Amino acid sequence: MDETTDAKLRSWVDVSTDSHFPIQNLPYGVAIRNSDQKPILVTAIGDSVLNLTEIEKRGVFSTTEIAGKNVFQGSSLNDFMSLGRGAWKTVRQALSRLFQADNPAIRDNEDLKNKVLIPASEVEMVMPVSIGDYTDFYSSREHATNVGTLIRGPEKALMPNWRHLPVAYHGRASSIIISGTPLHRPKGQTFPKDAHAPVFGPSNVLDFELEMGFFVGPASKLGKSISVNDAIDHIFGMVLVNDWSARDIQTWEYQPLGPFLAKNFGTTISPWIVTMDALAPFKCPAPEQDPKPLSYLRSESDRTYDIHLEVNLTPESSDTSETIVRSNFNYLYWDVHQQLAHHTVTGCNVRTGDLMASGTISGPAKKNRGSLLELTWRGEEPITLSSGETRKFLQDGDTVTLTGWCQGDGYRIGFGKCAGKILPAIKE
């Protein structure tokens, strides 16, 4: 077992048992301090963030692989991400040692501690990565079956290719936004029931999608694929993803090429990137794949993770957030390693900072359905909130918050929050 994930590790920083950020996590992000608009690269522990930009200047990493590289001096994590697992591991070990209860280096140096350990309430988290490309997969069998049943009926729910390869499409990287950023209801063409021609206006069938995503670390070369068993060396870490969806726009536009405007108006991600090393203790078996995948998609070991996921909805009329979905990352039929291997099997090169999202994560029970399209069965079965309000799809003023964590023995490895509020469509 990696020493940094030992459940017995304790920090000199006070961390509650339900915190998402114990010493075993140490995720990476980028923040702006309220008193200074210059971005700093940070890690989280408890209710504080550690200024990696400053401690790198002070030589804390001088004995690691990143010595002299100044990878924490920019405005994104890309330079660090590009270095690979050796560098990631040594930095993680150095940070773990800094926070361990018996290490006085920062703990007993009040001046240094005040400079580098900042209350999380005093910073604003911003986009952690310069994202070049974005791919959205369709990797949940339950989600694909539910949607296919709604469109084609249960006999033809899954398309013939679905159980043979990880289906995906290329998304729009420019409209990926950080948690807390509100977004306006999109406008576009729709073809209402019983209409004789398409109409233009705000989407009336706006939805969330419960997803997770991973960021690519080291790039690959054009013409060279990444094997399923080497994929882990190219995956820096994971985030929560809400790939908002305008279902009525999508219904009209998606034939024959798939989603376009229904997806490109906004995709929200959580600000903290949780590393694969932090997630390693929570590896678990993936669903059985039948038929057996072709050889390039066959993994040698457990390659998915037990990550509990929730979706919470807060209407504008209420201060109460209500959990409407409970799911798990391990429901996915196609895992992240298979996704990356398939993405590059043609020789397609991936670049540092590329984001790959899972697609909606649904499970076998109704409460596991990761979108309102499934949860309300295309609006035919509205959900009732504790306030008495009902929802078929999202209304203006609704705030959707995704959260997720792995439950350890007395600690959690969490992702924080991925939240966004729906504003009315812009009037022009």
Please report the pLDDT score of residue 125 as a whole number. Answer: 97
What is the per-residue pLDDT across 137-163, written as a single tens digit (0 to 9) for each?
999 999 999 999 999 999 999 999 999
Given a contact cutoff of 8 angstroms between Cβ atoms, the answer to whether 363 and 311 are in contact is no
Please report the pLDDT score of residue 113 as a whole number. Answer: 96
Please report the pLDDT score of residue 37 as a whole number. Answer: 83
Angle in degrees, CA 250, 251, 254, rounded to 5: 65
Pairing of strands 399-407, 308-314: antiparallel
Give ranges for CATH 3.90.850.10 in the chain: 134-423
Residue 409: both structure tokens together: 């023995």
Please report the pLDDT score of residue 1 as a whole number. Answer: 58
Give ranges for CATH 2.30.30.230 in the chain: 3-126
pTM of the predicted protein model: 0.97
What is the per-residue pLDDT across 251-268, written as a single tens digit (0 to 9) for each?
999 989 889 999 999 999
Q: Decide: residue 205, CB within 10 A, 0-12 exposed, 13-18 middle, 19+ buried.
A: buried
- CATH class given for the domain over 134-423: alpha beta
Supply the residues annotated as catalytic.
Answer: 143
Residue 133: both structure tokens together: 């490309």
Please report the pLDDT score of residue 48 as a whole number. Answer: 98
Tens digit of pLDDT per residue, the chain (428 long)? Answer: 589 999 999 999 999 999 999 999 999 999 999 777 899 999 999 999 999 999 999 999 998 999 999 999 999 999 999 999 999 999 999 999 999 999 999 999 999 999 999 999 999 999 999 999 999 999 999 999 999 999 999 999 999 999 999 999 999 999 999 999 999 999 999 999 889 999 999 999 999 999 999 999 999 999 999 999 999 999 999 999 999 999 999 999 998 988 999 999 999 999 999 999 999 999 999 999 999 999 999 987 788 999 999 999 999 998 889 999 999 999 999 999 999 999 999 999 999 999 999 999 999 999 999 999 999 999 999 999 988 999 999 999 999 999 999 999 999 999 999 999 999 999 97
CATH number given to 3-126: 2.30.30.230
